[in-house]
Amino acid sequence: MAKQPEDRRLELLQGTLDMLILRTLQWGPQHGHGIGQAIRAQSDDLLKVETGSLYPALHRLVKREWLKAEWGVSEANQRAKFYRLTAAGKAQLSREQDRWSQLVDAIGRVMNPARAGKE
């Protein structure tokens, strides 16, 4: 297996994990392991979610009723808990997405004032 060099890996920004989970579940229900793998794959192996953060986050989102959890059988015929986005979760995702792009935009303007000015 090709292990990623440690220096390439990025720390997750505080408060973005929830958004990433919600986003990942947009394509359909998934179990915890799958969510972790999906984030890793989508980020081109740059983001790695620790299970110690992932599972408490999943439970937190269930408690807020943005996700719904139910037991199912995985593609590998393995019993696993699947998480599914609720209507409230979808709304939350779009809110977080908006906030995120505003944040990126704002930080971008600060970091690259010249380019921001040209646009």
Partner 1 sequence: MRPSQNDLDDEIRGHMALSIKERIERGEDPESARLAALKEFGNVTLTRDSMNAVWHHRWRESVEALGRDIRFAVRALLRAKGLAATVVVTLALGIGANAAIFSVVRGVLLRPLVNRDEDRLIYIRQSAPGVGAANLNFSVPEIIDIKSRATTVSAIGDFSTVDFALIGLGGEPRMVKAGVVGGSFFDVMGLRPVLGRLLGPQDDGPNAEGAAVLTNRFWTTSLNSDPTVVGKRIRLGQRSAVVVGVLEPSVPYPADTEIIANVVSSPHHLGATMVTSRTHRMTELFARLAPGATVEDARAELTAIHAGIVRDHPEAYVPKANTQLRVSKLREQIAAPARTILLVLLAAAAVVFVIACSNVANLILARSVRREGELAVRAALGAGQHALRRTLLAESLVLCGAGAALGILLAQPMVALVARYAARFSVRALEVRVDTSVLWVGVGLAMIAAVLLAYVPRLPSPCAPAGLGLASGGVRITPGTNRRLRIFATTQIAFSFVLLAGAGMLLATLVALQSARTGYDMRHVVAFDIPTPATGVGGAKVLDFYQRATERVSTLPGVTGAAVGSFVPWRDAGTFGPGIQFTVDGYKLADGEENPRARFRIAGPNFFSVLGVPLIAGRDFTNEDREGTELVSIVSQSVAQRLFPNGDAINRHMWWVDPYFGPKPAPRRIVGVVADVDDEQVLQRTAMTIYQPVRQIGLAGRLFVHTAGDPHSVMPEVARVIHELSSDQPVERGATLEDVRAEVLSPERVNAFVFSGFAGIALLIAVVGVAGVLAFSVSARTREFGVRLAVGAAPRHLLARVLSEGIVIAAIGIAAGAAGGYALARMAASVFDQVQLPGVLTVTVAAGVLIGAAVIASLMPATRASRVDVLQALRSE
CB of 105 to partner 1, least distance (A): 32
Nearest to 83 by CA among 43, 27, 40, 44: 27
Q: Binding string, 13-32, against partner 1, x = CB under 8 A?
A: ------------------xx
Residues 56 to 85 in contact with partner 1, rule: CB under 8 A: 56, 59-60, 63, 69, 71, 74, 76, 78-81
Site size toward partner 1, by CB under 8 A: 22
DSSP of 25-92, one letter per residue? Answer: GGGS-EEHHHHHHHHHHHTTTSB---HHHHHHHHHHHHHTTSEEEEEEE-TTS-EEEEEEE-HHHHHH
Residues forming contacts to partner 1 in the complex (CB under 8 A) are 1, 31-34, 37, 50-52, 55-56, 59-60, 63, 69, 71, 74, 76, 78-81
